[in-house]
């Protein structure tokens, strides 16, 4: 089988090929154009041939790894390799990898190259700024000291809120930063250190699109502390009307729900409102007993709302029972 056929079938088969003296330069160029990784199996003299290595790195930038030490220090060869695959900079010579001007040139083209530069350059403000200007995601590869810089981070998350996950703990605890991130990435709260702050969660869902709020609701329902906060669930329901909240409410004692019912007095919460109402009716064999309790007015509100909205005569009768039992005054239900 010819060297070309071996390359086309599987470049790894070239390691078994030994008769390189019979292969013409033109054929060599063809196989390197087809797959630059073939350079790994060529004799050392070919790995030091600038024309052949140039063809190889144009095809597969990472084939720079198999070039001679001399050519890995050749700026032209390295430029070709980095243009094809920025990760190939990993195989450049130590001299080039410590050339600040060369690094600036490369991160200006692809900021993600910051990932593979020597550590000292991850702490260089000029290089970091150049990298994140080209690609904000490169902030994740910068020195930790830059992740504390509010002036550096804020403009980034204004454009890409998901970058909050790469900020320092202190910035991930800053409510203003979190809200700024939410405007471009609705799930930013999940990358913060304030994931249990109910007021902040509500502020975030007010900004969000429905899909992102559904994702936040998934988190809330998986978090015991949030799932058991009845008032918070009622408030959240105004923005994320999801049957799963109704299912939770269905399982809670009526007495724990009624103190929060004023929060449900709007059209958005109608389904949740009636869930509580019917639960109250179901659990109360005699509605008169609510007339003498502290929650009588809450039950009355529920019943009046039900009657006004649906003109349900049973609700009207229930209202009269409570009034009779507790003498809590007349309500108008026209």
Map out the domains of the chain as residue ranges: 1-97
pLDDT at residue 200 in the model: 92
Residue 311 zone, left/alpha/beta (φ > 0; ψ -120 to 50; rest): left
pLDDT at 58: 96
Please, which pLDDT band fits residue 114 given cuts at 50, 70 and 90? very high
- CA dihedral sign of residues 6, 10, 12, 13: negative
Handedness of CA 120, 124, 129, 134 (dihedral sign): negative
Q: Find the range with the poorest average confidence among 157-161, 231-235, 310-314.
A: 310-314
Name the more confident of 251 and 199: 199
What is the Cα–Cα distance from 197 to 207, expressed in whole angstroms? 16
Q: Which of 105-119, 206-220, 225-239 has the highest mean pLDDT?
A: 105-119
Task: Look at residue 254 in the predicted model and tell me its pLDDT.
Answer: 66
Mean pLDDT of 135-139: 94
**Which of 126-130, 224-228, 302-306 is the least confident region?**
302-306
Measured in whole angstroms, the distance separating CA 334 from the mean position of its chain's CA atoms is: 50
Residues 6+ apart with CB under 8 A from 19: none
pLDDT of 327: 41
| pLDDT at 316 (0 to 100) | 55
Higher-pLDDT residue of 167 and 272 is 167
The confidence band for 90, taking pLDDT boundaries of 50, 70 and 90, is very high
pLDDT at 176: 93
CA 26 to chain centre: 50
Mean pLDDT over each residue of the chain, to the nearest integer:
79
Mean pLDDT of 113-141: 95
Distances (CA, A) of 275 to 248, 263, 264, 290, 298: 11, 14, 11, 18, 14
Burial class (CB in 10 A: 0-12, 13-18, 19+), 201: buried
Mean pLDDT within 134-162: 91
Six token digits for residue 136:
């904000």
Do residues 192 and 172 lie in contact, with contact meaning Cβ atoms separated by under 8 Å? yes
Cβ within 8 Å of residue 22, ≥6 positions away: none
74 band by pLDDT with thresholds 50, 70 and 90: very high
Instruction: Report the percentage of the chain scoring pLDDT > 70.
Output: 69
> Among 37-46, 119-128, 242-251, where is mean pLDDT lowest?
242-251
pLDDT digits (tens, 9 = 90+) for 273-331: 667 766 766 665 444 444 444 445 555 555 555 554 455 555 555 555 445 444 444 44
């Amino acid at each position: 089988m010819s060297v070309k056929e071996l390359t086309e079938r599987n470049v790894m088969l070239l390691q078994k090929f030994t008769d390189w003296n019979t292969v013409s330069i033109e054929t060599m160029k063809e196989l390197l154009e087809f797959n630059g990784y073939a350079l790994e199996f060529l004799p050392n003299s070919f790995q030091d041939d600038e024309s052949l290595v140039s063809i190889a790195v144009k095809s597969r930038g990472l084939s720079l790894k198999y070039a001679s030490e001399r050519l890995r220090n050749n700026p032209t060869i390295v430029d070709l390799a980095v243009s094809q695959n920025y990760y190939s900079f990993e195989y450049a010579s130590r001299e080039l990898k410590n050339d600040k001007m060369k690094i600036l040139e490369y991160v200006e083209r692809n900021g993600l190259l910051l990932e593979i530069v020597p550590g000292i350059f991850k702490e260089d403000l000029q290089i970091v700024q150049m990298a994140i200007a080209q690609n904000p995601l490169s902030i994740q590869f910068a020195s930790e000291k830059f992740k504390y810089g509010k002036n550096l981070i804020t403009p980034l998350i204004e454009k890409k809120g998901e970058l909050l996950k790469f900020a320092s703990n202190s910035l991930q605890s800053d409510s203003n930063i979190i809200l700024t991130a939410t405007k471009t990435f609705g799930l930013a709260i999940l990358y913060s250190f304030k994931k249990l702050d109910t007021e902040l969660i509500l502020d975030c869902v007010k900004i969000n699109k429905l899909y992102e709020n559904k994702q936040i609701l998934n988190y809330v329902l998986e978090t015991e502390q949030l799932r058991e906060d009845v008032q918070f669930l009622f408030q959240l329901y105004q923005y994320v009307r999801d049957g799963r909240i109704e299912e939770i409410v269905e399982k809670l004692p009526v007495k724990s729900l009624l103190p929060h019912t004023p929060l449900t007095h709007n059209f958005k919460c109608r389904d949740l409102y009636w869930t509580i109402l019917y639960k109250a009716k179901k659990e109360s064999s005699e509605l008169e007993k609510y007339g003498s309790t502290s929650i009588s007015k809450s039950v009355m509100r529920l019943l009046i709302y039900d009657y006004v909205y649906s003109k349900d005569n049973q609700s009207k009768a229930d209202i009269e029972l409570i009034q009779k039992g507790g003498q809590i005054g007349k309500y108008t239900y026209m």
